[in-house]
Amino acid sequence: MGKRIFLFILTNILVLATIMIVLNLIGFTGYIDNGKIQYQQLLVLSAVIGFSGAFVSLAISRWMAKKAMGVRVLDPNANLSSAERALVDKVHDLSRKAGITVMPEVGIYESPEVNAFATGPTKNRSLVAVSRGLLQSMDSDAVEGVLAHEVAHIENGDMITMTLIQGVVNTFVVFLARIAAFAASRFVKPELQGIVHFIAVLVFQILFSILGSIAVMAFSRYREFHADKGGAHLAGKDKMVHALQSLQRHVHAVDNSQSSVATLKISGKQGMSQLFSSHPDLNERIRRLHES
C-alpha cells in the first residue's frame, strides 16, 4: 500500500537536500567555470548525486519505516500472542511459497488506519508491516490477501526497480534545478549571487522532486497490478479479490463519515490528482483480477 512509496520518496527528497546543502557549504561549484555552466560535468555530477540519493534511501528504507511508523517487529522466537503468531506464520508461509529464502521481518504498528506495506533494500532484508486497524477491520481471508500482495512486492523486487527509476528522476531533478538556480542568480548583484544560487537550488530541487514523483507514482500504479496478480497466485484469486473488496468497503465508509479526509485514502483518485496517486482505482484493480 501507499506507505512504502510515501516513505521512500520523502526519504529520497531529504537525502538529496542534505547532499545539496553539504556541497554548497563546502563551496563546491565544479560545474561552473568562468561564469558558465559546464553541462557535461553537471550531468555527471547530477547522476552521481541522483543515484546516490536513491540508493541511500533504499539502504535505510527498512530502518526508516520502523522509526517513522513506530513498527514493533515480532520476534518469531518470542512468546507471541496467538494473533501475532498467526500473522508471522502466514507471512513466512507466503514467503516460502514465493521462493524467498530469508524470511521478512514482520511487524505491527499502532494506527486505526487500514493499511499494510512491504519495504527493504533486498528480498533477503525486507519488512512486512500491518496496522492494528487492518487486523481489527478485516477477516482472516482478507488479511491473507493483503499479506500476499505485500509479499508479491518483495518477490517482484519492486523496491530495487523503483530505486533505479528514482535515480534517473533524481538525475534530471539535480541537473535542471542547478540550471534554473544558475539562471535565477544572474538577476541579482554579483555579491548576492552565491546565496541566491544556494537558496534557488534548494527550492527548485524540492519543486522538481515533487514533479518527478509523477513518474515514480506511475510506476507504482503499474506495479500494483502485478502485485495483485502475485498475491492472487500466492493466496488464491478469491482471497485477493476479497481483500480488495474489504478495503473498498472501508474506503466507502470513510468517504461517508469523513469526506474531508477521503482524498488521502488509497482508493484511487480522479483527474489531475490521479497523477500523484501511488495506487490505481480499486474498481479497476478488482476488474483486472476478475479478468486475469
- Residue ranges of alpha helices (H) inside 124-236 are 132-137, 140-156, 158-185, 193-235
What's the predicted TM-score (pTM) here?
Answer: 0.82
91-127 CB burial, b ≥16 within 10 A, e <16: bbbbbeebebeebbbbbbbeeebbbbbbbbbebeebb
**Backbone phi, then psi, for 73, in 5-degree steps?**
-75, 135
DSSP string, 25-87: HTT--TTEETTEE-HHHHHHHHHHHHHHHHHHHHHTHHHHHHHHHT-EEPPTTS---HHHHHH
- pLDDT over 80 at 154, yes or no: yes
142-146, 153-157, 265-269, range with the lowest pLDDT = 265-269
Give the pairing type, strands 36-37 and 32-33: antiparallel
31-45, 140-154, 170-184, range with the lowest pLDDT = 31-45
Which residues lie closer than 8 Å to 221 by C-beta, 6 or more apart? 277, 278, 279, 280
pLDDT at residue 36, as a whole number: 82
78-82, 102-106, 107-111, 197-201, range with the lowest pLDDT = 197-201
The 3-class secondary structure across 10-35, one letter per residue, is HHHHHHHHHHHHHHHHCCCCCCEECC
Q: Residue 235's closest CA among 137, 123, 155, 124? A: 155
- pLDDT over 70 at 255, yes or no: no
At which residue does the C-alpha cell 559546464 appear?
38
Q: Residue 54's closest CA among 172, 152, 148? A: 172
Reported as a single tens digit per residue, the pLDDT across 17-75 is 787 777 767 666 667 777 788 888 889 888 988 898 889 889 988 998 899 899 999 99
pLDDT at residue 49, as a whole number: 86
**Backbone phi, then psi, for 72, in 5-degree steps?**
-100, 110
Q: Which of 105, 113, 144, 150 is catalytic?
A: 150
* Mean pLDDT calculated for residue range 144-156: 96
pLDDT at residue 3, as a whole number: 61
* Residue ranges per structural domain of the chain: 2-291
**Backbone phi, then psi, for 142, in 5-degree steps?**
-65, -40
Which residues lie closer than 8 Å to 98 by C-beta, 6 or more apart? 151, 152, 154, 155, 230, 234
Which residues lie closer than 8 Å to 43 by C-beta, 6 or more apart? 171, 175
CA end-to-end span of the chain, whole Å? 21
pLDDT at residue 272, as a whole number: 60
- pLDDT over 90 at 127, yes or no: yes
Percent with pLDDT over 90 in the chain: 50
150 catalytic residue (yes or no): yes
pLDDT at residue 259, as a whole number: 38
- pLDDT over 90 at 238, yes or no: yes
pLDDT band at 292 (very low <50, low <70, confident <90, very high): confident
pLDDT at residue 99, as a whole number: 94
DSSP string, 171-184: HHHHHHHHHHHHHH
- pLDDT over 80 at 217, yes or no: yes
* Mean pLDDT calculated for residue range 2-24: 73
